[in-house]
Amino acid sequence: MEQVTLIATATFGLEMVVKQEVKALGFADLRVTDGKVAFAATLADIPRANLWLRCADRVLLKVGAFTAVTFDDLFEQTKALPWERWIPVDGRFPVSGKSVKSALRSVPTCQAIVKKAVVARLQQAYGASWFAETSGDYAIQVSLLKDEAQLTIDTSGDGLHKRGYRAEAGEAPLKETLAAALVQLSFWRKERLLLDPMCGSGTILIEAALIGRNIAPGLRRSFAAEGWPALDPALWLAARQEATAAIDHEGALQILGYDIDAASIAIAKSNAVKAGVGADIQFAQQDARNLWIDQQYGILISNPPYGMRMAEYQQMNEIYISLNKTFRKKMGWSVYILTADKKFPDYFKRSRPDRVRKLYNGRIETHYYQYYGDKPER
Ligand SMILES: C[S@@+](CC[C@H](N)C(=O)[O-])C[C@H]1O[C@@H](n2cnc3c(N)ncnc32)[C@H](O)[C@@H]1O
């Protein structure tokens, strides 16, 4: 089958997580650069990568790459690429761009030139002088880095964080891709107890349940490349059938979600049902300041409020003190906290964090504080 290069894009700090995921899907020949994991694939892998990648933002199809220091270079080499292989005569192809440390600095000009070059190429290929651009979704991106231009078409459409289960969001919900990464970076496995005592709309727990049940995160949505004539619909059907057959229905999951806010708990429950994991998570309205845990072993992953508003400040201190009290002696618990509040480790005194990762929650710089617990006895 025809070979292509796909690029899974990743939020800053998650490149290695995405690389692991790409590898786990069986791809070799991976190249990781800032925000991107490129890999060799076949056409059948476009549906697979879109359906299965949990932490990547999008899957791009690389159409070509070349050095460009003048606008002529950009035009001629873009025009030389086989755009008609992917874009049909009525296809809609908006162009976006970015430029970093490159001679061609004006992004609007680069976009306009790429658009003109693709039009010129398609005019030749289709013998048409004008394109109505009425159907489909073939979003082109020109990305310049140190004078190397890379041209891609987005196969995903909506970002991969849009799983199709979150009709309703609580206050400050995490992106699903980041929530999935928090779980992938933890010691949680489907046999283990997982708790989020400030679960909001339940994103972390829902993503964990999808992982636990081996449910492909993209099963409930569609993708831009699903409508491309260049991809046989049978490839999408086969990938969807394979993903449905791969769901692991065995055993019970132990996943608990609490929040002080009743409305958030209602939203979380409804989202979990929509995601197909309603029976796998037990939600309850509860104040984290009164948290009581019987179990000796478990995994806590949470994204507390960041205490940025004055009203939250006092409450945050009380929550940290309570977490410290509850987990100080529970060495069988691994505790993972994503927060922008740098004073968290001063309050959680069980030990110094085993690892701290810088991650971005949207535009907010946060840290993921990781405290490893003892492994459960067999
Ligand atoms: C940043 S949000 C969590 C968002 C969540 N990760 C999501 O994706 O929807 C923090 C949550 O902590 C909850 N919260 C605040 N104080 C709490 C407390 N004392 N006990 C339990 N939950 C609390 C808030 O209601 C809010 O839903």
Q: Are residues 104 and 186 in the same domain?
A: no
Q: Is the pLDDT of residue 56 over 70?
A: yes
Q: Are residues 145 and 199 in the same domain?
A: no
Q: Which of 175, 258, 259 to mutate to test the pocket of ligand 1 (most atoms within 8 A of CB)?
A: 259
Q: Is residue 378 part of a domain?
A: no
Q: Give the mean pLDDT of the chain.
A: 95
Q: Which domain holds residue 64?
A: 3-154
**201 CA from centroid of ligand 1 (Å):** 8
Atom of ligand 1 nearest to the CA of 318: 19
Q: Are residues 95 and 183 in the same domain?
A: no
pLDDT tens digits for range 108-124: 999 999 999 999 999 99
Nearest one of 44, 42, 32, 43 to 8, comparing CA atoms: 32
Which residues are CB-neighbours of 223 under 8 A, at least 6 positions away?
47, 50, 155, 156, 157
Percent of the chain as helix, strand, coil, to the nearest 5:
35, 25, 45
Q: Is residue 229 part of a domain?
A: no
Q: Is the pLDDT of residue 55 over 70?
A: yes
Q: Are residues 251 and 288 in the same domain?
A: yes
Place of tokens 């008609």: 84
**251 CA from centroid of ligand 1 (Å):** 29
Whole-structure pTM value: 0.95
Q: Are residues 193 and 78 in the same domain?
A: no
pLDDT tens digits for range 245-257: 999 999 999 999 9
Q: Are residues 8 and 42 in the same domain?
A: yes
Q: Is residue 166 part of a domain?
A: no
* Binding site membership of 182 for ligand 1 (Cβ less than 6 Å): no
* Binding site membership of 201 for ligand 1 (Cβ less than 6 Å): yes
Q: Could you tell me the CATH number of the domain that includes residue 281?
A: 3.40.50.150
Which 3 state secondary structure label does DSSP give 35?
Answer: coil
Q: Are residues 73 and 190 in the same domain?
A: no
Q: Are residues 129 and 69 in the same domain?
A: yes
* Binding site membership of 207 for ligand 1 (Cβ less than 6 Å): no
Q: Are residues 187 and 141 in the same domain?
A: no
**Ligand 1: which residue has its CA nearest to atom 12?**
198
Q: Is the pLDDT of residue 97 over 90?
A: yes
Which residues are CB-neighbours of 64 under 8 A, at least 6 positions away?
77, 78, 80, 81, 150, 151
Q: Could you tell me the CATH number of the domain that includes residue 64?
A: 3.30.2130.30
Q: Is residue 122 part of a domain?
A: yes
Q: Is residue 97 part of a domain?
A: yes
Q: Are residues 207 and 127 in the same domain?
A: no
Give the number of domains in the chain. 2
CB atoms under 10 Å from CB of 181, counted, come to 29
Q: Are residues 54 and 182 in the same domain?
A: no
pLDDT tens digits for range 273-299: 999 999 999 999 999 999 989 999 999
| Helix 176-184 with 15-24: angle, nearest 10 deg | 80
Q: Which of 198, 287, 301 to mutate to test the pocket of ligand 1 (most atoms within 8 A of CB)?
A: 198
Residue 313: the pLDDT is 76
- 221 neighbors 164 (Cβ within 8 angstroms): yes
Q: Are residues 197 and 329 in the same domain?
A: yes
Beta bridge partners of 300: 195, 335
The token pair that represents 37 in the structure block: 């994991």
**55 CA from centroid of ligand 1 (Å):** 22
For the chain, the straight-line distance linking the first and the last C-alpha, in angstroms and rounded, comes to: 46
**336 CA from centroid of ligand 1 (Å):** 15
What are the backbone dihedrals phi and psi of residue 292, each rounded to the nearest 5 degrees, phi first?
-135, 130
- 252 neighbors 190 (Cβ within 8 angstroms): no
